[in-house]
Structures are given as structure tokens and as C-alpha cells.
């Protein structure tokens, strides 16, 4: 589990629960998305869809179940910025205990041309300032 200086609370909704009474594995992706869009909005000062981006890769390690009523938070950090990609790491914490860890690769994307774009300098600068490291 990493230390994150950006954390987002998540409400476990009744509809998140599956037939075995815990949060369905696919819902974790929604929790990550919620944290990521908050990070993009707050840290990078842009709306998550302007300019657009796509998620090129996602990996999740499920550590323990989350149940209805659990106190859930998602910590997120950017750990690497490439020419046209941003690696984000996440920890999903439920009731103070690790429930999942994950990574995503986000790529700025031109929908018209259907091609990856370079990471904007403003994003790189804002992320570097927030994370306290140079990319």
C-alpha cells in the first residue's frame, strides 16, 4: 500500500452489492474512476473530458471484500508520466484496511484523429507540483 496525498471518500451503494453480499468486482473500476476524475479536476484543474483521454490499461488486485455500510476511501497518486501516458496507482481502503490495490494507464486522446496525444505540459507541471516530484 502506497502513501497517497489525494484521497476520495466513496459511498457503497446498495446496487454495488452482488449476490454474495459484497461489492461486485466490476464496481471497483467505478470507484477508481470516481477517484481519478476528482484528481483530474482538483489537481490538474481540467474537466476530465476536456481534453479527452482514454484508459489504456487497468490492473486490480482484490485483497478482501467490501460490504454495504463499509467506510471506503480511494487513495490515488501519479507515479510516472511518459510522453503520452500517465501511470496512476490506487489503494482502496475499507474500514481502515486495504481492500484492493490498482493501477491505470491514462492516455490523452484525440477523438477526431483516433490517436494518442502528448501529455500536456500544464498537466505534467500540475501533477509534479502536487506529487512533489519531477516528471
DSSP 14: G
The pLDDT of residue 135: 85
| DSSP tally for the chain: helices H, then strands E | 2, 6
For the entire predicted model, the pTM comes to 0.94
Digit-coded pLDDT (tens) for 95-112: 999 999 999 999 999 988
* Helix, strand, coil distribution of the chain in percent, nearest 5: 25, 40, 35
Superfamily of domain 7-122: Hotdog Thioesterase (3.10.129.10)
Beta strands 86-94 and 115-116: pairing type? Answer: unpaired
Digit-coded pLDDT (tens) for 115-133: 999 999 999 999 999 999 9
For residue 102, give the C-alpha cell: 490498482
Of 53, 32, 43, which is closest to residue 6 (Cα–Cα)?
Answer: 43
Digit-coded pLDDT (tens) for 45-78: 988 777 689 999 999 999 999 999 999 999 999 9
Please name the residues in contact with 114: beta carbons below 8 A apart, sequence gap of 6 or more.
Answer: none
Amino acid at each position: 500500500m502506497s502513501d497517497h496525498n489525494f484521497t476520495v471518500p466513496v459511498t457503497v451503494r446498495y446496487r454495488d452489492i452482488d449476490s454474495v453480499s459484497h461489492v461486485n468486482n466490476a464496481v471497483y473500476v467505478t470507484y477508481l474512476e470516481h477517484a481519478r476524475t476528482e484528481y483530474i479536476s482538483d489537481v490538474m484543474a481540467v474537466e476530465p473530458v476536456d481534453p479527452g483521454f482514454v484508459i489504456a490499461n487497468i490492473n486490480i488486485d482484490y485483497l478482501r471484500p467490501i460490504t454495504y455500510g463499509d467506510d471506503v476511501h480511494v487513495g490515488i497518486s501519479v507515479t510516472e508520466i511518459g510522453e503520452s501516458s500517465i501511470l496512476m496507482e490506487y489503494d482502496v481502503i475499507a474500514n481502515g484496511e486495504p481492500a484492493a490495490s490498482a493501477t491505470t494507464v491514462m492516455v490523452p486522446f484525440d477523438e477526431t484523429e483516433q490517436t494518442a496525444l502528448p501529455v500536456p505540459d500544464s498537466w505534467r507541471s500540475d501533477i509534479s507540483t502536487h506529487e512533489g516530484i519531477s516528471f
